Amino acid sequence: MAKTEPHAAYSAFTHGLQHRWSFVKCTIPGISPLLRPLENSIRNTFLPALLRSHTMGDDERALLTLPPRLGGMGITSPERMADEENLNSINLTRSLTEKIIAQDANGETDQNAILELKKTFSRNRQSAQVESLERLKGVLPDDTVRKIHTAQETGASNWLTCLPIRAKGFSLNKQEFVDAVALRYGWPVEGIPNTCACGSLNDVNSTTP
């Protein structure tokens, strides 16, 4: 599907499929190594099909795990997130677990405390994402970093986060999606001539009519 309908495949992955792994990540400790084949499949099969000919390095893979609002694509790594999500789940359910072990049928969990924990986890996750982005800015090409800044502008990533509803005009065809991602990160655009009509090397910034 990623080869023929990349926009639909991307949306299905980010809005649905990757969330199906949340339960096992939250409930099974030490599962991270067992999720490595899944990450390998995402990196070596799904992403090449989604992005066509572009070769994926470690830094670019890390970039794509970031949320669209930070310039990424929200294609998370289940292997990398498993331990953190399991620990968060343990901390979040600790009071309930203790009551179950003690067979306390009358006790109630403090919902306000749970809400505060959720907010803390969210802040920590966002801080880690920002730190990852700052690290990537130091190693990615300058042109890609400039593109990331542009992608962080208000509304610049709406085409990624909205559902590809064809009737509303939100669905991109195969070539449109691949080109849009390439332009988003300054990657080579597939299929353009090597030289411009003026004789110079061709690129997406060419202004020759």
- Cβ 42 vs Cβ 1: under 8 Å: no
* 195, β-bridge pairs: 201
Q: Is the pLDDT of residue 21 over 70?
A: yes
User: What is residue 135's predicted lDDT score, i.e. its pLDDT?
Assistant: 93
CA distances from 116 to 23, 130, 197 (A): 21, 21, 60
pTM, two decimals, is: 0.80
User: What is residue 190's predicted lDDT score, i.e. its pLDDT?
Assistant: 75
User: What is residue 189's predicted lDDT score, i.e. its pLDDT?
Assistant: 80
Range with the poorest average pLDDT among 99-103, 118-122, 178-182, 196-200: 196-200
Q: Give CA–CA dist 20/194, Å, rounded.
A: 43
Q: Is the pLDDT of residue 178 over 80?
A: yes
- 40, with CB counted inside 10 A (0-12, 13-18, 19+), is exposed
Q: Where are the alpha helices (DSSP H) in the chain?
A: 6-15, 22-27, 36-41, 47-51, 58-65, 78-92, 94-101, 111-137, 142-151, 158-161, 174-185
Domain ranges of the chain: 6-185
Which whole number is the average pLDDT over 164-191?
86
pLDDT band of residue 94 (cuts 50, 70, 90) is confident
pLDDT in tens, 129-158: 999 999 999 998 898 899 999 999 998 899
Q: Give CA–CA dist 209/196, Å, rounded.
A: 10
Q: Is 201 helix (H, G, I), strand (E, B) or coil?
A: strand
Sign of the CA dihedral 110, 112, 126, 11? positive
Report CA dihedral (121, 126, 128, 132) to the nearest 10 degrees: 160
Q: Give CA–CA dist 24/34, Å, rounded.
A: 11
Q: Is 31 helix (H, G, I), strand (E, B) or coil?
A: coil
Task: Tell me how crowded residue 70 is: count the other CB atoms within 10 A of its CB.
Answer: 19
